[in-house]
């Protein structure tokens, strides 16, 4: 998967979206999400700290917490210590060289074991798991 560029293309894309979205208020919400000076965490979520593709590290948990997720201490221990090797192995099995809208069913199937593991952790529901995987 391609990461966000470190240039002006993201604000430019937000500007183009603002002009084409038809739902009242949605264009401003999208623009605000990508604005680093607003209260939304969009760019901070993506850019905060280190983000190795095959590890969950404290930076990831902090980034996800910016999206109104509270981590239980036992979930933090499980992700960063007890099951960190398993999480890393499962993350490494997920392709990162193709955009989400171009993946095959087999590519998506590679995420299932990781999804199942994450959602089995006490306090990690579908919203938390999806935000962690997005990170």
Per-residue pLDDT, averaged over 39-50, amounts to 79
Query: If you average pLDDT over every residue of the chain, what do you get?
Result: 85
Provide the domain count of the chain.
2
Q: Both 110 and 93 in a single domain?
A: yes
pLDDT-based confidence at residue 8 (cuts at 50, 70, 90): low
pLDDT-based confidence at residue 1 (cuts at 50, 70, 90): very low
Q: Both 124 and 99 in a single domain?
A: yes
Q: Both 69 and 107 in a single domain?
A: yes
Q: Both 112 and 69 in a single domain?
A: yes
pLDDT at residue 93 above 60?
Answer: yes
Determine the Cα–Cα distance for residues 75 and 128; give it in Å rounded to an integer. Answer: 11
Q: Both 86 and 21 in a single domain?
A: no
Domain residue limits at 12: 1-40
Q: Both 36 and 59 in a single domain?
A: no
């Amino acid at each position: 998967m391609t990461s966000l560029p470190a240039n002006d293309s993201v604000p430019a894309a937000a500007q183009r979206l603002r002009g084409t979205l038809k739902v009242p208020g949605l264009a401003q919400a999208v623009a605000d999400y990508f604005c680093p000076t607003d209260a939304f965490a969009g760019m901070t979520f993506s850019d905060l700290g280190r983000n190795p593709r095959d590890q969950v590290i404290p930076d990831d948990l902090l980034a996800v917490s910016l999206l109104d997720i509270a981590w239980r201490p036992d979930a933090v221990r499980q992700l960063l210590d007890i099951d960190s090797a398993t999480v890393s192995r499962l993350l490494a099995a997920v392709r990162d060289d193709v955009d989400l809208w171009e993946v095959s069913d087999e590519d998506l199937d590679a995420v299932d074991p990781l999804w199942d593991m994450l959602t089995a952790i006490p306090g990690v529901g579908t919203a938390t798991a999806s935000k962690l995987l997005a990170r």
